[in-house]
């Protein structure tokens, strides 16, 4: 049997965007992913659905597997001919025991490769606004374990030389031993007034930072109830935090936002929220699936010459339509004789990406806005083709019909309820673990509310944000209070409205 290969991949300190391109490439070809505690689930999604995922994380005294077991697991999978990714937090060779795993693989003749990662020793202080070196304050730094192997007979840290040897000291896994670390540093020459920062959950939206000095940091951390995992930074560079902090003062920092778009669309909303400091929780309230019987949409495409208008109400409709267009061995030329309408800039942009410029996009991105614009055109007797969701409402159809148009509405795709995701959303809402819930269509409202029966859920302070008036109206009818309504009915517009809401709240609280 062919021997496999093991990649020791550093995943970075927490923010999934900090993994290297090569690390993602390794995940894409992995047969097996052996992963640590504290890794973002988004990274596991970079592997194929068929890849085996094995958790071997360690939290304090609780270990899913001991290190010897992990070593054996990597060897076994390698001997089975598998491509294995050992996904480790931070960098594999910086206090990550990657060296021990590499030794075990070498001993057993298993090919391996090390893919370095960004160590938390540098990234976590950076996300807290603390450079570990600075031309005027620090020319050197050292990375030190704050939790040595308890089986070692003696410490390998020479505190007498370490305490004053370098300008900046960074302790990883040092929270439990913070009092001892502080005592040792003061005992061996560091002044009690030396600035200190303790950073919990670094590079994540839950990041918290407590600053002080060697004299008072232990009591400050205790009073703040800060716990592991935390990075401890000692040195004059800590003074720069208030001036350079950038990550934890963004407008939506720390807000947990429920993203209820379909799995196919959630990433764009999540990305914009993350850029503003929020923590997106992707729990799609709808799932987009192709229609099983394509005869109706296929016949409509083949008979496009009989229509005057082709109207798209969403990006999903565009994608579904063009999938069938291409399946029929046709391309954009088939649309040359019809007038193209699009509701919303995102829908129009998706069309542009297909090589089609929409002839008509209403100023207000709603069915009502679309019909209002048609009143200026003579559409009596004209035929409209509407490829859209199987559960779309009648507002657009009725509006065009009242103006004398003839509408042929076809189901281009199905929207279904992903029961597992919705059940998780229900639990999070009941437990008060969500700050904002976003609704990007009426169907996302209806599907999520179906979990709670006739009674609306106890939102426990959760704000409700809607992309437009129709979605907001559905939410109100379902018994929800809409706190945030986008003035521009787009995903960027929704995020901007959420940001304005919380900025205004912050200013009001400060007055």
Distance of alpha carbon 237 from alpha carbon 167, whole angstroms: 9
Q: What are phi and psi of 71, to 5 degrees?
A: -55, -45
Are 209 and 248 contacting, i.e. CB atoms less than 8 angstroms apart?
yes
Q: Is pLDDT at 368 greater than 90 in this prediction?
A: no
Query: Average pLDDT in the 134-159 region?
Result: 84
Instruction: Classify the C-alpha dihedral 332-335-337-342 as positive or negative.
Output: negative
- Burial per residue of 459-483, b for 16 or more beta-carbon CB atoms within 10 angstroms, e otherwise: beebbbbbbbbbbbebbeebebebb
- Burial per residue of 16-29, b for 16 or more beta-carbon CB atoms within 10 angstroms, e otherwise: bebbbeebbebbee
The pLDDT, as a whole number, for residue 11 is: 95
Tell which residue, 111, 122, 109, 103, has the closest CA to residue 10.
122
Q: Is pLDDT at 507 greater than 70 in this prediction?
A: no
Q: Categorize the per-residue pLDDT at 281 as very low, low, confident or very high, splitting at 50, 70 and 90.
A: confident
Are 384 and 408 contacting, i.e. CB atoms less than 8 angstroms apart?
yes
Per cent of the chain over pLDDT 90 is 64
Q: Is pLDDT at 407 greater than 80 in this prediction?
A: yes
What is the DSSP secondary-structure string of 276-335?
A: TT-EEEE--S-EEEE-S--HHHHHHHHTGGG-SEEEE-SHHHHHHHHHHHHHTT--GGGG
* Average predicted confidence (pLDDT) for the chain: 89
Q: Categorize the per-residue pLDDT at 484 as very low, low, confident or very high, splitting at 50, 70 and 90.
A: very high
The pLDDT, as a whole number, for residue 263 is: 56
The pLDDT, as a whole number, for residue 413 is: 87
Q: Which residues are catalytic, by number?
A: 36, 58, 173
Are 34 and 86 contacting, i.e. CB atoms less than 8 angstroms apart?
yes
The pLDDT, as a whole number, for residue 401 is: 94
The pLDDT, as a whole number, for residue 419 is: 64
Q: Categorize the per-residue pLDDT at 1 as very low, low, confident or very high, splitting at 50, 70 and 90.
A: low
Query: Average pLDDT in the 168-192 region?
Result: 95
Q: Categorize the per-residue pLDDT at 149 as very low, low, confident or very high, splitting at 50, 70 and 90.
A: low
ω into 382 cis (within 30 of 0) = no
Output the CA–CA distances (angstroms, integers) from residue 398 to 236, 402, 404, in the order listed: 69, 6, 10
Which of 84-93, 115-124, 147-156, 427-436 is least confident? 147-156
Are 312 and 343 contacting, i.e. CB atoms less than 8 angstroms apart?
yes
Q: Compute how many other C-beta atoms are within 10 angstroms of the C-beta atom of residue 158.
A: 10
Query: Average pLDDT in the 159-170 region?
Result: 96
Q: In this structure, what DSSP letter does residue 14 have?
A: S
Q: In this structure, what DSSP letter does residue 457 have?
A: P
The pLDDT, as a whole number, for residue 296 is: 93
Q: In this structure, what DSSP letter does residue 238 have?
A: G
Which of 135-139, 154-158, 503-507 is least confident? 503-507
The pLDDT, as a whole number, for residue 314 is: 87
Are 11 and 117 contacting, i.e. CB atoms less than 8 angstroms apart?
yes
Query: Average pLDDT in the 172-185 region?
Result: 93
Which of 60-64, 116-120, 128-132, 397-401 is least confident? 60-64
pLDDT per position as a tens digit, 350-362? 999 999 999 999 9
Query: Average pLDDT in the 402-416 region?
Result: 89
Edge-to-edge, what's the strand order for the sheet holding 195-200?
141-145, 168-172, 230-234, 195-200, 208-213
pLDDT per position as a tens digit, 289-325? 888 899 999 999 999 999 999 999 988 899 999 999 9
Question: What is the four-CA torsion angle of 322, 324, 328, 329, rounded to 10 degrees?
Answer: 30
User: In which region does residue 461 sit, left (phi positive, over 0), alpha (psi from -120 to 50) or beta (all else)?
Assistant: left
Query: Average pLDDT in the 505-509 region?
Result: 64
Q: Categorize the per-residue pLDDT at 150 as very low, low, confident or very high, splitting at 50, 70 and 90.
A: low
In the structure encoding, which two tokens stand for residue 423, read together? 């059940």
pLDDT per position as a tens digit, 89-98? 999 999 989 9
The pLDDT, as a whole number, for residue 370 is: 92
Instruction: Quote helix, strand, coil % in the chain, to nearest 5.
Output: 40, 20, 40
CA angle centred on 448, ends 442 and 452, rounded to 5°: 125
Q: Categorize the per-residue pLDDT at 134 as very low, low, confident or very high, splitting at 50, 70 and 90.
A: very high
Distance of alpha carbon 442 from alpha carbon 486, whole angstroms: 14
Q: Is pLDDT at 329 greater than 70 in this prediction?
A: yes
pLDDT per position as a tens digit, 450-483? 767 656 666 667 899 999 998 999 999 888 899 9
User: pLDDT: is 407 or 394 the higher one?
Assistant: 407
Instruction: Classify the C-alpha dihedral 121-127-130-136 as positive or negative.
Output: positive
The pLDDT, as a whole number, for residue 457 is: 62
The pLDDT, as a whole number, for residue 260 is: 78
The pLDDT, as a whole number, for residue 10 is: 96
What are the residues whose beta carbons fall under 8 Å from the beta carbon of 464, sequence distance 6 or more?
436, 437, 439, 475, 480, 481, 482, 483, 484
The pLDDT, as a whole number, for residue 207 is: 92
Distance of alpha carbon 193 from alpha carbon 452, whole angstroms: 56
The pLDDT, as a whole number, for residue 402 is: 94
Domains and CATH numbers, the chain: 5-117 (3.40.1010.10), 122-244 (3.30.950.10), 256-286+418-510 (3.40.50.10090), 290-416 (3.40.50.10090)
Tell which residue, 454, 455, 458, has the closest CA to residue 427.
458
Are 173 and 229 contacting, i.e. CB atoms less than 8 angstroms apart?
yes
pLDDT per position as a tens digit, 229-271? 899 999 999 999 999 999 999 989 989 998 876 555 557 888 8
The pLDDT, as a whole number, for residue 208 is: 94
**Which DSSP helix (H) or strand (E) runs through 437?**
strand 436-439
Per cent of the chain over pLDDT 70 is 90
Query: Average pLDDT in the 380-406 region?
Result: 89
pLDDT per position as a tens digit, 26-80? 999 999 999 988 677 778 989 998 999 999 986 655 556 889 999 999 999 999 9
What is the DSSP secondary-structure string of 198-222?
A: EEESTTSTT-EEEEEETTTHHHHHH
Are 291 and 412 contacting, i.e. CB atoms less than 8 angstroms apart?
yes
Are 287 and 263 contacting, i.e. CB atoms less than 8 angstroms apart?
yes
CA angle centred on 130, ends 125 and 131, rounded to 5°: 95
Query: Average pLDDT in the 139-161 region?
Result: 82
């Amino acid at each position: 049997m062919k021997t496999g290969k093991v990649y020791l991949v550093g995943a970075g300190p927490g923010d999934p965007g900090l993994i290297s391109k090569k690390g993602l490439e390794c995940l894409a070809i992995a047969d097996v992913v052996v992963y640590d505690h504290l890794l973002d689930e988004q990274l596991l999604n970079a592997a194929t659905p068929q890849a085996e995922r094995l958790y071997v994380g360690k939290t304090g005294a609780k270990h899913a597997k001991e290190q010897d077991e992990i070593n054996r697991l990597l060897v076994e999978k390698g001997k089975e001919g598998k491509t294995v990714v050992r996904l480790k937090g931070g960098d594999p060779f910086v206090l990550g025991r990657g060296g021990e795993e590499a030794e075990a693989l070498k001993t057993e003749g298993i090919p391996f490769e090390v893919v370095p990662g960004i160590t938390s020793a540098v990234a976590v202080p950076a996300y807290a606004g603390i450079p570990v070196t600075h031309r005027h304050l620090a020319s050197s730094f050292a990375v030190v374990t704050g939790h040595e192997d308890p089986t070692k007979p003696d410490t390998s840290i020479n505190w007498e030389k370490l305490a004053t040897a370098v300008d900046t000291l960074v302790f990883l896994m040092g929270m439990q031993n913070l009092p001892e670390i502080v005592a040792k540093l003061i005992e061996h020459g560091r002044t009690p007034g030396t600035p200190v920062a303790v950073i919990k959950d670094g590079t994540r939206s839950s990041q918290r930072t407590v600053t002080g000095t060697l004299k008072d940091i232990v009591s400050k951390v205790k009073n703040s109830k800060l716990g592991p995992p935390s990075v401890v930074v000692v040195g004059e560079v800590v003074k720069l935090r208030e001036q350079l902090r950038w990550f934890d003062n963004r407008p939506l920092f720390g807000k947990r936002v429920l993203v209820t778009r379909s799995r196919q669309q959630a990433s764009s909303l999540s990305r914009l929220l993350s850029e503003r400091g929020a923590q997106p929780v992707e729990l799609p309230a709808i799932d987009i699936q192709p229609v099983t019987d394509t005869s109706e949409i296929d016949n409509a495409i083949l008979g496009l010459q009989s229509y005057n208008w082709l109207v798209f109400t969403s990006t999903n409709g565009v994608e579904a339509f063009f999938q069938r267009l291409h399946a029929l061995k046709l391309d954009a030329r088939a649309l040359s004789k019809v007038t193209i309408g699009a509701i919303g800039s995102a829908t129009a942009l998706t069309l542009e990406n297909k090589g089609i410029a929409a002839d008509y996009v209403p100023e207000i991105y709603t069915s009502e806005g679309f019909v209002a614009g048609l009143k200026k055109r003579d559409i009596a007797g004209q035929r409209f083709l509407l490829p859209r969701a199987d559960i779309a409402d009648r507002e657009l159809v009725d509006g065009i019909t009242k103006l004398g148009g003839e509408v042929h509405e076809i189901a281009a795709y199905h929207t279904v309820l992903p029961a597992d995701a919705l059940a998780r959303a229900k639990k999070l809402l009941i437990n008060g673990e969500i700050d904002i819930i976003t609704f990007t269509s009426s169907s996302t409202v209806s599907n999520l509310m179906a979990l709670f029966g006739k009674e609306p859920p106890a939102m426990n302070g959760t704000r409700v944000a809607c992309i437009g008036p129709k979605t907001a109206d559905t939410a109100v009818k379902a018994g929800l209070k809409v706190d945030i309504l986008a003035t521009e009915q787009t995903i960027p517009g929704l995020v901007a409205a959420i940001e304005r809401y919380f900025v205004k709240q912050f200013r009001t609280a400060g007055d």
